[in-house]
């Protein structure tokens, strides 16, 4: 891994991170680079460890996504899992992750072992609050089984299932754009549906830039010939609510302009866009002390506001 090149790329989450706190973005993609090597400089190694942390709600969301992906894989193989099997797998994963995080195993194996923000920063969380997180996970997976997809997807012809990698990308204006759709399938010869699971407890409007990225990816993969031929369904498993969207050509042009603007903003922070090199001090820290308290890197960010 030491020969990997740190190339500039864009994603909706990276852009959002720059807007929230550019310094946090620097730590994630520059200050922690190379930290997978145990012999890396101490602060780089520490940044890499802290980068992997997840809050308990992010952790729960990740387990829900893993459990649904596993259920879909079994369904595709003609071996659909019962709701109880999916939930039990999620609970076992939670228990194993919790024990590993509490024992601090992530400090030895930061990429492979679960590390929870609450454990690293010794935040008091009651047994009832941990139990609430587990109940949320169980509820989301139960809602997944109530949704139309577990019954509908196994009936699709095998050729209708579209390949989805853990992290996919396409090229836009010479820049690698990362996307991570949860599932996709053909609904016709040149039409497709992309599903994005949500686990948040609030009903929030769909992000048009994220939806546009999915549409662009589908067009690049030749799943569809026109943006309107791609249906993106955001299914909130916490609320049992689906929201379907289609991207028009006009809206897609607007979003492309917004992505270009975001890319330019991110590149302007760099020392050299060609070599993708960056200096920490050029990336401003968020002025919101509360945001800094919830940041993975707060213990090594010397410019973070206090209080």
Going by pLDDT thresholds of 50, 70 and 90, the confidence category of residue 281 is: very high
Q: In this predicted model, what pLDDT tens digit does every residue of 33-56 receive, in sequence order? A: 999 998 999 999 999 999 999 999
Q: In this predicted model, what pLDDT tens digit does every residue of 65-115 receive, in sequence order? A: 999 999 988 888 888 899 999 999 999 999 999 999 999 999 999 999 999
Contact between 131 and 117 under an 8 Å Cβ cutoff? The reply is no
Looking at residue 176, what is its pLDDT? Answer: 96
CB neighbour list of residue 78: distance below 8 Å, 6 or more residues apart: 154
Helix axes 249-268, 208-220, angle to 10 degrees: 100
**Looking at the domain 158-247, which fold is it?**
Trna Endonuclease; Chain: A, domain 1 (3.40.1350)
Residue with tokens 């200050």, as numbered in its chain? 31
Residue 260 above 90 pLDDT?
yes
The burial of 199, by beta-carbon neighbours within 10 Å (0-12 exposed, 13-18 middle, 19 or more buried), is given as buried
Give residue limits of the domains in the chain. 9-152+284-293, 158-247
Residue 1 above 60 pLDDT?
no
Looking at residue 165, what is its pLDDT? Answer: 66
Q: What angle do CA 204, 205, 208 make, to 5 degrees?
A: 140
Residue 133 above 90 pLDDT?
yes
Residue with more model confidence, 221 or 297: 297
Q: In this predicted model, what pLDDT tens digit does every residue of 196-208 receive, in sequence order? A: 999 998 877 778 8
Contact between 230 and 248 under an 8 Å Cβ cutoff? The reply is no
Give the whole-angstrom CA distance, residue 50 versus residue 42.
12
Q: Read off φ and ψ for residue 186, nearest 5 degrees.
A: -75, 140
H-state helical runs in the chain: 12-20, 22-26, 42-51, 56-76, 83-102, 117-120, 127-146, 149-152, 208-220, 249-268, 289-293
Looking at residue 2, what is its pLDDT? Answer: 45
């Amino acid at each position: 891994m030491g020969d990997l090149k740190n190339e500039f790329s864009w994603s909706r989450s990276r852009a959002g991170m720059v807007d929230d706190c550019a310094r946090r973005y620097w730590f994630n993609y520059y200050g922690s680079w190379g930290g997978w090597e145990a012999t890396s400089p101490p602060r780089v190694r520490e940044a890499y460890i802290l980068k992997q942390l997840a809050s308990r709600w992010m952790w729960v969301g990740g387990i829900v996504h893993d459990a649904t992906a596993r259920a879909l894989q079994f369904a595709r193989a003609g071996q659909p899992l019962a709701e109880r099997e999916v939930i039990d797998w999620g609970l076992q994963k939670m228990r194993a992750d919790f024990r590993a995080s509490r024992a601090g195993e992530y400090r030895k194996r930061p990429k492979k072992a679960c590390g929870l923000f609450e454990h690293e920063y010794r935040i008091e969380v009651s047994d009832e609050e941990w139990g609430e997180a587990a109940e949320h996970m169980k509820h989301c997976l139960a809602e997944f089984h109530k949704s139309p997809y577990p019954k509908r997807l196994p009936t699709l012809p095998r050729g209708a299932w579209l390949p989805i990698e853990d992290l996919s990308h396409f090229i836009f204006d010479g820049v690698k754009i990362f996307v991570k759709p949860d599932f996709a399938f053909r609904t016709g010869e040149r039409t497709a549906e992309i599903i994005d699971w949500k686990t948040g407890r609030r009903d929030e409007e769909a992000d048009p830039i994220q939806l546009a990225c999915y549409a662009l990816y589908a067009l690049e993969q030749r799943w569809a010939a026109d943006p309107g031929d791609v249906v993106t369904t955001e299914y909130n498993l916490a609320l049992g609510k689906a929201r379907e969207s289609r991207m028009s050509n006009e809206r897609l042009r607007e979003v492309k302009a917004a992505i270009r603007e975001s890319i330019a903003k991110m590149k302007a922070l760099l020392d050299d866009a060609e070599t993708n090199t960056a200096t920490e001090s050029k990336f401003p820290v968020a002025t919101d002390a509360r945001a800094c308290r919830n940041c993975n890197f707060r213990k090594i960010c010397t410019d973070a506001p206090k209080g």
